[in-house]
Structure 1
Amino acid sequence: MIRKLNEADRIPLMTLLHKDPALNLFIIGDVENFGFEQDFMELWGEMDEPDGRFKAVMLRFYGSFLPYAEGPFDVEGFAELVRKSGKAEMLSGSSHVIEKFRQVLECKSEKQMFFAELKEMNQQIRAAAATPGEFQIAKLHDVEAICSLTDLIEEFSGSSANSRQTLHKALESKTGRTYFAEKEGEVVATASTAAENSMSAMIIAVATHPENRGQGLATQLVARLSADVLEEGKSLCIFYNNPQAGLIYKKLGFTDIGTWSMLYI
């Protein structure tokens, strides 16, 4: 049975999510930060009737849907919720869960990325990152300039529709932070966190203007951002699909823990 969740479901929901806290970082963060009574997000759960535990959940955050399941679950039941919402832009999650939706949802395109986690940073790089650099911490008035850069990046083309809304909400609610570098008044590199919670944060939207690549700007931003988050006692996760980027992240201390898939609806 699939039903909409509310505050009374917090403990059994977190019991399920904490079994894999890295993969469930987004759902954990949104529940911690926003609870259950928001117009921009909803949660549904499928209950294992004999013992009353949840075996699968799905989050809607604006137009993005994120399912998670331990094992077999009612794929068609969750897919019908996505169809009926009238708001679906993307379905994302661990690849072994998302692959079950390919046959039941019509999608425009699909992307798969490596999923890596950072618990302990390379000490040399961490020490260097502590040195003040030429970067800025984004405020609400920087949203348009930052998104104007990410609009140029091919990898972000499927998510540009709600990028401004998502970044604005993250900065406003303090569920994410963004560092960026400028040259001649234009944002040329940026890196953000999302879904920050008591345990972890996700690094997202790492981008460098095409004319400013090869200068190490994004690497410096990610290093400084990672050092600051680790200093707060949290771990970090990141997606990547570029092998060269993967080498950079691994030098920082990230290790691969799985793959993540996105279906654009």
Structure 2
Amino acid sequence: MIYKCIEDHRELLLNFLAVDPIMNLFVIGNIETYGFDSLDQDVWAYTDDSSQITGILLRYKENVIPVHGENFDGFETFLPLLQSLDEITAVSGASSTIEQYAEFLPELELTETTIALCQDLLESPKNIDLVEPLKKIGIPAYLTFQQECFGKTTEQELPLLEAMNADTILIHVIKNDNGEILSAGRLAVETAEAGMIIDIGTIESERGNGYASAIIASLVQHCQQKGKKACLFYSDASAGRLYHRLGFQDTELKWSMLKPREEKDKKTLFEELTT
């Protein structure tokens, strides 16, 4: 049986997801943050004959995350539901789950990343004192930075402002004397267990100065101060070496994404952007 979730289902959903709080970080964080009344988010649950939840499907904007095991009775229910959703640009989740969808979504390309965790920093980068939280007045400069650093921005000023007002986003930046952002990174989602670091980048002319390391370290410190682990995804070996030097350790968890082939060189919400 499948049903669309409402507030009354919150505890049941979170109990199901708590079995693997790191792998399910995005889904837990989105449910805790956006609940069940947001136009940006929908949550469905699938139950077995004893009414126990065995799978969850979450849509957040153009992204979908299915959560279930390898032998999932509800797969033939989730697949057509997923295919019916409009303007989906990414299907993400545990690799063992996403691989089940790959053959039915041939227009999408499968990529895999490693999940790494940091509880204790091994070093404090030299430029960490330059890092500061982005203020609301700095949002236009942040959007300009994203365009220069990544060649695009998927953000808009009003949603970022609303997220900052609601304290659901944390962006750390390094600026020059003119107030231009040279490097930035953010926590995409936080739960009681951990915070997910994404969108780390430095503009090309300033790379090699250790700014990315400083941004990452500052976000790790933020998590530490709240008694949480910091985590991130990566697929690039050079990025992995940077993370390991700072104190991140690879887990056995693998996160995969299905995305349009023509978007191969672009990044989405669930990928780290590291330089």
Instruction: Please give the TM-score of this superposition, normalised by the length of structure 2.
Output: 0.84
For 2:107 and 2:140, locate their aligned partners in 1 and report how far apart those are by CA, in whole Å: 28
1:86-127 Cα distance to aligned partner (Å, 9 max, x none)? 1312111111111111122243544322211122332x43xx
For 1:253 and 1:8, locate their aligned partners in 2 and report how far apart those are by CA, in whole Å: 40
Q: 2:181 aligns with which of 183, 187, 190?
A: 187
The 5 Å alignment of 1:86-97 reads 86-97=86-97
Q: Which moved more, 1:140-149 or 1:8-17?
A: 140-149
User: Are 1:262 and 2:261 matched, yes or no?
Assistant: no
- Classify 1:76/1:168 alpha carbon distance in 2 versus 1 (closer, same or farther; 3 Å): farther
Conserved 8 A contact 1:79-1:105:
no
For 1:260 and 1:135, locate their aligned partners in 2 and report how far apart those are by CA, in whole Å: 29
Counterpart in the other structure of 2:46:
46
Q: 1:171 aligns with which of 164, 169, 174?
A: 164
Q: 1:250 aligns with which of 238, 244, 247?
A: 244
- Larger helix percent: 1
- Classify 1:163/1:239 alpha carbon distance in 2 versus 1 (closer, same or farther; 3 Å): farther
Counterpart in the other structure of 2:55:
56
Identity over aligned pairs, percent:
26
Secondary structure, counterpart of 2:130 in structure 1 = coil
Q: Which moved more, 1:208-217 or 1:167-176?
A: 167-176
Counterpart in the other structure of 2:226:
232
Q: CA deviation at 1:35?
A: 1.8
Conserved 8 A contact 2:174-2:181:
yes
* Aligned-pair Cα RMSD in Å: 2.4
For 1:55 and 1:116, locate their aligned partners in 2 and report how far apart those are by CA, in whole Å: 26
- Classify 1:236/1:102 alpha carbon distance in 2 versus 1 (closer, same or farther; 3 Å): same
Q: Which moved more, 1:98-107 or 1:74-83?
A: 74-83
Conserved 8 A contact 1:4-1:43:
yes
- Classify 1:245/1:167 alpha carbon distance in 2 versus 1 (closer, same or farther; 3 Å): farther
Counterpart in the other structure of 1:143:
139
Q: In the alignment, residue 234 of structure 2 is paired with which amino acid?
A: Y
1:156-195 Cα distance to aligned partner (Å, 9 max, x none)? 87xx445767645542322220101122432111110011
Instruction: Please give the TM-score of this superposition, normalised by the length of structure 1.
Output: 0.87
Q: Which moved more, 1:74-83 or 1:220-229?
A: 74-83
Secondary structure, counterpart of 1:31 in structure 2 = helix
For 2:62 and 2:169, locate their aligned partners in 1 and report how far apart those are by CA, in whole Å: 18
For 2:157 and 2:30, locate their aligned partners in 1 and report how far apart those are by CA, in whole Å: 18
Aligned residues: 257
Q: CA deviation at 1:43?
A: 0.5
Listed as ranges, the gaps of 5+ residues in structure 1 are none
Secondary structure, counterpart of 2:129 in structure 1 = coil
Q: CA deviation at 1:142?
A: 2.7
Conserved 8 A contact 2:131-2:218:
no
